[in-house]
Amino acid sequence: MASSQHGACGLTILPIAQHDGLIRADFSKGARTVQENVIVSHRGARYEIGRGPGFYGIWPAGAAGFQPIEWWPETAEGWNGAWSRFSEIESRRAIRPVGQSGGSGEPPSPDLPAGQARRAIVASALLAIGVAVGIAGLFPDYFGGASLAQQAANVVPHAIYLAVWAASAVLIALGGTRRQAGALLAAGTSIVTLGLFVADAGTAISGGVPVAAGLVLSLIGWAACAAGSVLAVRRSGAGSPARPANVETVLTLGLAAAAALGTAIAFAPSWDRFTLRTAAGTSQTLTAGNAFANPGLVIAGDVAVMVALVAVAIAAGAWRPTRRGVVLLAGGIVPMAAQAISAVIQITQPASPQQFGIPPAQAAGVGLTISSGLTLAFWIYCGFVGALILTCALMFSMPTAPPPPPAQVPALQDPLDAASPGAPAAPGAPSEQTVG
């Protein structure tokens, strides 16, 4: 709930000039002062917004004792219009509830109490530890006798996850609205990557080999980052999902869910296409990577990725404030985009005949060559990931919902009330007065 200041102040009534159909406050013809009760709820670098008896108004910063430069009727629609206008003419980062420090366009949340601030530091430290352990996990054997660092197609997505978690730790440590953004970014990435790490562990376990040190370190690193992100979200006041309030919100939620569902479905089919050709001119095309052609634990991990992505997208679409939902969705998109990057890198690597059960000597004897490519399913997947990114941009561009209006103030009887912006007899009697 926004804080406010409430008290009696001198309200200067200025002559009104009309030009080109606009009602303007004319500061060149002197002023008359009466006593009015005014609540100023939010202030920016240049303007402030509040409530007087019978109206919502916008004043120059620190000038609530004067006639507002623009005003609206004391209705729900009036408050929405006033806040929309205030957000247009004032820098969103400068807007803050009266009585609080710092700035943000939503507006910002107050500073955390000392205990919660310490928990934010712990969350940032957990993420930093997770990143450090994850980096250490890049170099020992992961599975198959090779480390992640030796496989470009595998090390790049892991490096992307670690970079996001590291950035989140810094944002949380910086505090303010950055703390909330860091918490949600880390949470989105942690939720979706859980299934990917489960699938990697399933690959090792199903192969009948011990889980290697690199995989163990990576799992520990993920667990630390996930714990840090959960703690940060719970203690940062980052918002939560809420019932859609209007048609625009419903459409945005539906778009996010549809794009995520399409991405999840396109994640399952084979992405890799290999064409085998012999010197005699015969050829055969094979595909690989179908999520449901793997051992059970790997399938479970891949399905967890799909479910998690859709859940994150739905939660982000319903999140309030909306722009914090954008950060949550961005965190969920990161692992999916990293998977696409990994697939592109993989096709640039030469394919071995042993991948298809063909001994090298036999392949050389028949003049076998192997070319790699990507299937249509991969490009469809990329299209849906692009749709998710566009959804983020759409959500970010949506106007923020106004905070609750300031408390109602009693109207004071005064001989000059007829000139008050809230009075029916205000010059021109418009429902909204506009300063050009």
Find out whether 101 and 107 touch, Cβ atoms under 8 Å: no
Q: How far is CA 72 from CA 4, 32, 48, 377, 431, in A?
A: 19, 21, 14, 53, 6
- What is the pLDDT, as a whole number, of residue 108? 43
How many Å apart are CA 287 and CA 151, to the nearest integer?
21
- Closest residue by Cα to residue 266 from 384, 387, 346: 384
Q: To the nearest 5 percent, what fractions of the chain are helix, strand and coil?
A: 55, 15, 30
Half-sphere CA count of 42, side-chain side, radius 13 A: 32
Report the DSSP beta bridge partners of residue 5: 40
Find out whether 204 and 212 touch, Cβ atoms under 8 Å: yes
Find out whether 354 and 239 touch, Cβ atoms under 8 Å: no
3-state secondary structure of 216: helix
| Contacts (Cβ under 8 Å, ≥6 apart) of 414 | 34, 35, 36, 420
How many Å apart are CA 412 and CA 33, to the nearest integer?
13
- What is the pLDDT, as a whole number, of residue 87? 83
Token couple for 365: 């004897």
DSSP string, 47-79: EEEEEETTEEEEEETT-TTBPPSEEEESSHHHH
Is the torsion defined by CA of 154, 160, 162, 165 positive or negative?
negative
Radius of gyration, alpha carbons of the chain:
29
- What is the pLDDT, as a whole number, of residue 114? 59
Q: How far is CA 411 from CA 327, 417, 433, in A?
A: 43, 9, 19
- What is the pLDDT, as a whole number, of residue 197? 96
Q: What is the pLDDT along the chain (436 residues), one digit of tens a residue?
A: 333 333 333 333 334 343 333 334 444 444 434 335 788 999 988 999 999 888 899 999 888 878 899 989 988 888 888 888 888 888 777 888 886 544 444 444 444 555 667 888 999 999 999 999 999 999 999 987 889 999 999 999 999 999 999 999 999 999 888 999 999 999 999 999 999 999 999 998 887 777 899 999 999 999 999 999 999 998 777 888 888 877 878 888 999 999 999 999 999 999 999 998 888 888 888 898 899 999 999 999 999 999 999 999 999 999 988 889 999 999 999 999 999 999 999 999 888 887 788 888 888 888 888 889 999 999 999 999 999 999 999 988 876 667 888 877 665 554 444 444 544 333 333 444 444 4
Domain map (residue ranges) of the chain: 5-107+403-419, 114-397
How many Å apart are CA 243 and CA 289, to the nearest integer?
38
Burial group, residue 69, by CB count within 10 angstroms (0-12, 13-18, 19+): buried
How many Å apart are CA 207 and CA 219, to the nearest integer?
18
- What is the pLDDT, as a whole number, of residue 227? 96
- What is the pLDDT, as a whole number, of residue 33? 40
Q: How far is CA 25 from CA 56, 375, 432, in A?
A: 16, 65, 13
| Contacts (Cβ under 8 Å, ≥6 apart) of 316 | 188, 256, 325, 326, 328, 329, 332, 395
Find out whether 368 and 276 touch, Cβ atoms under 8 Å: yes
- What is the pLDDT, as a whole number, of residue 307? 98
How many Å apart are CA 320 and CA 324, to the nearest integer?
7
**Model pTM above 0.75:** no
